[in-house]
């Protein structure tokens, strides 16, 4: 009998157990909010295929040699995969703006081997008209946004020039 | 505090670790309240409707048309919802240069770039001598990391006025 009472006392559920339970729940809620798991639990996690067109300004021509169809792009901020480079990369002499003698600004092309690059990435993401496009359901992207990325052979900042949804 | 069982033996003692756990919980709860903006001020808040203009420049001309009337503006740095677009105006982006012929400073148009002026309306609260929209303090001169559904850009609030309240 004494042994039984001792065991019962040991299993008693106290106020601190409640507090610890609440703390654990709060941690779980934090994780759900941080990673947007709530959306996926609600069935909103369906990602669409999309194309992100981009512009990279003023790179050394040799530094973009490694950009070929199928090159994987990653976000520098968290190392997550963005998508793969499509065929049809356009590499042109970099645009240069200079002041003319009469005080106007003119546009011309670089002649010192610097280039601008335009291309398209195949990506996945979630879009709704009120919020915009979230790469992989998490990272907001929109036209005009500057994104630091890397590939196996190159680091650069790309400017998003457009986002096209392929599937809904 | 010690709770004793029938046989007089202590089965529960409130100790330093318990205090730490409770303090951690209180801190976590306070953080949640702050993050979710559940505290609206000290009761002296005055709610008003405001209108302000965010100027974003330079913007490449190929990006024009991405901001629409009715779009929600979010400050992308703090994720504050800071209003709804009322109108969008684009004007040629210029830079001030010295015209060596005349010796005068002139505003020279910058090819293929524009300045966007986005007028936004929002409900703001006035407290402590400043206005804030959903926790985002704003006034003429405030830097706004502007996130619209289809456009991202950095700009400054160039004018701010109360239109109702």
* A12–B11 CB contact, under 8 Å: yes
Q: How far apart are CA A100 and CA A79, in angstroms?
A: 43
Q: How far apart are CA B39 and CA B16, in angstroms?
A: 30
A16 vs B108, residue with greater confidence: B108
Structural contact between residues B135 and B111, judged by C-beta atoms closer than 8 angstroms: no
Of A92-106, A132-146, B75-89, the least confident: A92-106
User: What letter would DSSP give residue A94?
Assistant: P
Tell me the two tokens of residue A42. 């609600």
Query: Using omega within 30 degrees of 0 as the cis cutoff, is the peptide bond preceding A134 cis?
Result: no
pLDDT band at B154 (very low <50, low <70, confident <90, very high): very high
Closest residue by Cα to residue A56 from A147, A117, A121, A144: A117
Q: Is the pLDDT of residue B86 over 50?
A: yes
Tell me the two tokens of residue A73. 């792009």
Query: What's the confidence (pLDDT) of residue B165?
Result: 67
Chain B CB contacts of A160 below 8 Å: 152
Tell me the two tokens of residue A20. 């610890």
A32 vs A71, residue with greater confidence: A71
What pTM was computed for the model? 0.73
pLDDT band at A1 (very low <50, low <70, confident <90, very high): very low
* B108–A105 CB contact, under 8 Å: yes
Closest approach of chain B CAs to the CA of A122, in angstroms?
18
Query: What's the confidence (pLDDT) of residue A20?
Result: 80
Query: What's the confidence (pLDDT) of residue A40?
Result: 47
| Candidate from A99, A107, A144 with C-beta closest to B152 | A144
Q: How far apart are CA A151 and CA A149, in angstroms?
A: 7
Q: Are strands B130-133 and B104-127 parallel, antiparallel or unpaired?
A: antiparallel
- The mean pLDDT value for B158-164 works out to 92
């Amino acid at each position: 009998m004494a042994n039984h009472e001792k065991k019962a006392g040991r299993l008693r559920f106290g106020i601190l157990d409640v507090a610890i339970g609440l703390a654990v729940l709060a941690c779980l809620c934090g994780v759900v909010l941080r990673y947007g798991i709530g959306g996926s639990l609600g069935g909103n996690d369906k990602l669409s295929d999309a194309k992100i067109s981009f512009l990279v300004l003023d790179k050394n021509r040799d530094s973009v040699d490694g950009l070929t169809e199928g090159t994987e792009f990653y976000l520098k901020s968290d190392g997550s995969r963005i998508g793969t480079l499509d065929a049809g990369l356009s590499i042109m002499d970099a645009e240069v703006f200079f002041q003319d003698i009469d005080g106007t600004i003119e546009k011309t092309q670089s002649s010192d081997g610097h280039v601008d690059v335009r291309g398209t990435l195949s990506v996945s993401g979630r879009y709704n008209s009120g919020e915009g496009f979230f790469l992989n359901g998490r990272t907001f992207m929109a036209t005009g946004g500057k994104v630091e990325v890397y590939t196996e052979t190159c680091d650069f900042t790309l400017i998003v020039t457009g986002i096209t949804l392929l599937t809904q | 505090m010690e709770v004793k069982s029938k046989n007089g033996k202590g089965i529960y003692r409130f100790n330093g670790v318990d205090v730490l756990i409770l303090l951690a919980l209180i801190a976590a709860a306070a953080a949640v309240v702050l993050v979710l903006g559940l505290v609206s001020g000290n009761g002296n808040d005055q709610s008003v409707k405001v209108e302000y203009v965010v100027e974003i420049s330079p913007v490449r001309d190929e990006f024009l048309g991405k901001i629409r009337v009715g779009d929600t503006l979010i400050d992308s740095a703090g994720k504050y919802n800071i209003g709804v677009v009322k109108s969008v105006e684009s004007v040629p982006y210029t830079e001030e240069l010295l015209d060596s012929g005349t010796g005068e400073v002139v505003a020279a148009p910058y090819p293929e770039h524009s300045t966007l002026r986005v007028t936004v309306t929002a409900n703001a609260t006035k407290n402590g001598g400043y206005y804030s929209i959903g926790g985002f303090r704003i006034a003429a001169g405030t830097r706004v990391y502007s996130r619209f559904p289809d456009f991202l850009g950095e700009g400054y609030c160039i004018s701010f006025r109360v239109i109702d309240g």
